[in-house]
A = this chain, B = another copy of it.
Amino acid sequence: MNISEFAKEAGVSVSAVSRYFNNGYLAEDKKEKIEAALKRTGYMPSYSARAVRSKVTKLIGVILPKLSSESISRVTEGISEVLGEEGFELLLVNTANDYNREISSLELFRQNRVDGVILLASVFTDLHRSLLAKMRVPVVIIGQQLKGYNCVCHNDEGAAYSMTKLMLNKGAKRPAFIGANPDDKAAGLDRRLGFERAVKEAGLTVDPKYCEIAKFSMSSGYEKARRLFSNRLKPDCLFCATDNIAAGAMQYLRENNIRVPDDVMVGGVGDSRFDKVLYVPLSTVHLHYKTAGIEGAKMLLSEMKDRSEVHRILQLEYEIIERESTDKHC
């Protein structure tokens, strides 16, 4: 059933029906007629047809590197909360860390599919930049900084610095690091830089032998911990760029009877739900993931309302959460 069939059924004009759904001028008696007919027929206007003419889809494209990650799903939850309230729905694309899918979804979103885009990318290439430049709808980037775009990001460098410093202040002399791919500027490079700043500030040197790069998984953290601890290096503190990596590393430590925090202190980033139930509760840094989603969504909304050429960067702060994994007295 389309609008004209429905209008006939309700005994009003097509325009009246359209006005009913779009808050135009409409007399009370017609409203009632329409509502009665609505109950009889169950008619609903077609969103696609509406979108053709009005150029509003009420859809926001959200591009994610993966779905089953605690940090990412917290961001998404924040996004969904704010946008849902404003009547927007999320068109979600899971790129599974596949570079090409990231590009192709940006392509897709150019086809008048969405009113705005939120991008949680880990890496930015020239192709990313050129596609983003072609976007005709507002874009907000969460978790990374990109010049010329609205961004909500975390103080990754500071978070890594503070956590590392916390351990060094307790007398650690052989700091080790398990990080992420430095192409990922936020979680890879910045957290590495924060670690290095703390090490240098403590009068120590950053030894590449004490640094490993892992994937964002527990098993990868386990593997890299083996490389660091199965020889004569004997690190006395370990900073991990994510809690997942830290949890995997600690599993290796437990299996090999390396005591936490007595033999080695361990610190992570992310404040994952499981941190406090690990065999040694993990010290970590809380990043405001959900807030990032909320603020990013708000940014997008205001950008959609009145598009401006000024781009804002919102950097969220962090909070150190100290637990037993760094609870060592020197």
Contact = CB atoms under 8 A, between A and B. Distances in A.
Contacts of A247: 274, 277
A247 B275 CA distance: 11
B80 A67 contact: yes
A91 B273 contact: no
Given A46-B111, A279-B279, A73 B67 contact: yes
A18 interface: no
A48 B42 CA distance: 23
A73 B73 CA distance: 8
State which size class the interface on A falls in: 35 or more
Given A274-B274, A279-B277, A279-B278, A49 B47 contact: no
A77 B94 contact: yes
A44 interface: yes
A45 B74 CA distance: 34
A90 B77 CA distance: 16
Contact of A113 (B47, B66, B80): B47
A204 interface: no
Contacts of A107: 44
A72 to B, nearest CB: 9
A89 B57 CA distance: 15
A144 interface: no
A45 B112 CA distance: 8
B44 A111 contact: yes
Q: How many copies does the complex hold?
A: 2
Interface in A20-68: 42, 44-49, 51-52, 57, 59, 66-68
Contacts of A111: 44-47
A316 interface: no
Contact of A112 (B47, B68, B250, B277): B47
A198 interface: no
B59 A68 contact: no
A112 to B, nearest CB: 4
Given A46-B112, A57-B48, A74 B80 contact: no
Contact of A66 (B77, B96, B101): B77
A326 interface: no
Nearest to A93: B89
A117 B80 CA distance: 19
A21 to B, nearest CB: 10
A110 interface: yes
22 contacts: A42-B110, A44-B110, A46-B112, A47-B113, A48-B49, A48-B51, A48-B57, A48-B112, A49-B52, A52-B52, A59-B91, A68-B70, A69-B73, A80-B96, A81-B94, A84-B101, A90-B91, A91-B92, A218-B273, A273-B274, A279-B279, A279-B280
Interface of A: 42, 44-49, 51-52, 57, 59, 66-70, 73-74, 76-77, 80-81, 84, 89-94, 96, 101, 107-108, 110-113, 134, 218, 244, 247-248, 250-251, 272-274, 276-280
